[in-house]
């Protein structure tokens, strides 16, 4: 008897804040790989990194993810890493998931910058043994260079690296934090419910200003 494997996409990130780049990647992966669901998995910040100036707290980042995905019936929030104390490592998270759900294939979704950094991640080989890696282009990386790094990583780790079919989405949380701090509008870069929350909590803004808005 053949088991029909469930297919889950995982989009891990700091999501400080979650933006349309993350959401578009999740939806594109859902379509391209015929996934059953896509989980958005916020990384927990170690204690010394919490409540840093100009950053949102763990609770606020999770709340923004919840609001951002609320209108999509096949998106979920995964609190696995957020609920761990201290550092979490992707390989451990994926290995735990695999042992708990042996009938599920995991598709870990990343941008090209993360593919470049993969050597610095803890136990990349074990990550590739536990999931398929789905990679989106980013930062205007030329096609040829993107293909080269994909080929290199396939050779290094003998894992599945798939290219996600998305346009270059020139958007980052870092740049959005800067725009908000500078009083610029971020409308359409973030879903409206996330913008409302940022305004309500005055996130990323100069708090002394009081009633600043980013729409
Ligand atoms: P920051 O600027 O704070 O690093 P970010 O926009 O890179 O934020 P992260 O939460 O660090 O967002 O990213 C989570 C994952 O999403 C990473 O694998 C990253 O490469 C990917 N990602 C984020 N934005 C994009 C984008 N615009 N295009 C492609 N991949 C992206
Ligand atoms: Mg990043």
For this complex, say whether ipTM is above 0.95. yes
Q: Whose CA is nearest to atom 13 of ligand 1?
A: 13
Distance in Å, CA 171 to ligand 1 centroid: 8
Angstrom distance (rounded) from CA 193 to CA 158: 41
Structure tokens at 20: 């349309």
Q: How confident is the model at residue 11 (pLDDT cuts 50, 70, 90)?
A: very high
For residue 33, what pLDDT is reported? 98
Q: Is 23 in the pocket of ligand 1 (CB under 6 A)?
A: no
Give the closest residue to 19 by CA, choosing from 173, 212, 136: 173
Tell me if 182 sits within 8 A of 209, measured CB to CB. no
Distance in Å, CA 150 to ligand 1 centroid: 18
Q: Is 172 in the pocket of ligand 1 (CB under 6 A)?
A: yes
Tell me if 33 sits within 8 A of 107, measured CB to CB. yes
Burial track 48-57 (b if 16+ CB lie within 10 A, e otherwise): eeeeeeebbe
Least confident of 6-10, 13-17, 112-116, 209-213: 209-213
**Fold designation for 6-171:** Rossmann fold (3.40.50)
Tell me phi and psi for residue 77, to 5 degrees: -100, 135
Distance in Å, CA 1 to ligand 2 centroid: 43
* Strand-pair partners of 75: 38
DSSP assignment of 100-124, as one string?
A: H-TTEEEEEEEEHHHHHHGGGSS-H
Tell me if 128 sits within 8 A of 54, measured CB to CB. no
User: What is the arithmetic mean of pLDDT over 184-197?
Assistant: 98
Q: What is the pLDDT of residues 49-86, one digit of tens each?
A: 777 889 999 999 999 999 999 999 999 999 999 998 87
Q: Residue ranges of the domains in the chain?
A: 6-171
């Amino acid at each position: 008897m053949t088991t029909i494997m469930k297919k889950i996409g995982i989009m891990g990130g700091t999501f400080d804040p979650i933006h349309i780049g993350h959401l578009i990647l999740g939806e594109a992966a859902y379509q391209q790989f015929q996934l059953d669901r896509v989980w958005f998995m916020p990384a927990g910040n170690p204690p010394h990194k919490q409540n840093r100036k100009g950053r949102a707290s763990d609770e606020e980042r999770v709340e923004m993810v919840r609001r951002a995905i609320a209108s999509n019936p096949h998106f979920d929030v995964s609190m696995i890493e957020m609920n761990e104390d201290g550092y979490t490592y992707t390989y451990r998270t994926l290995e735990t998931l695999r042992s708990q759900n042996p009938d599920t294939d995991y598709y870990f979704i990343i941008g090209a910058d993360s593919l470049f950094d993969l050597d610095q991640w803890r136990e990349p080989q074990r990550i590739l043994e536990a999931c398929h890696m789905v990679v989106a282009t980013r930062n205007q990386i030329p096609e040829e260079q993107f293909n080269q790094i994909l080929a290199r990583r396939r050779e290094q780790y003998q894992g599945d690296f798939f290219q996600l079919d998305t346009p270059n989405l020139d958007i980052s949380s870092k740049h959005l934090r800067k725009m908000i701090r500078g009083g610029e509008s971020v409308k359409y870069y973030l879903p409206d419910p996330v913008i409302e929350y940022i305004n309500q909590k005055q996130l990323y803004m100069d708090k002394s200003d009081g009633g600043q808005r980013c729409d």
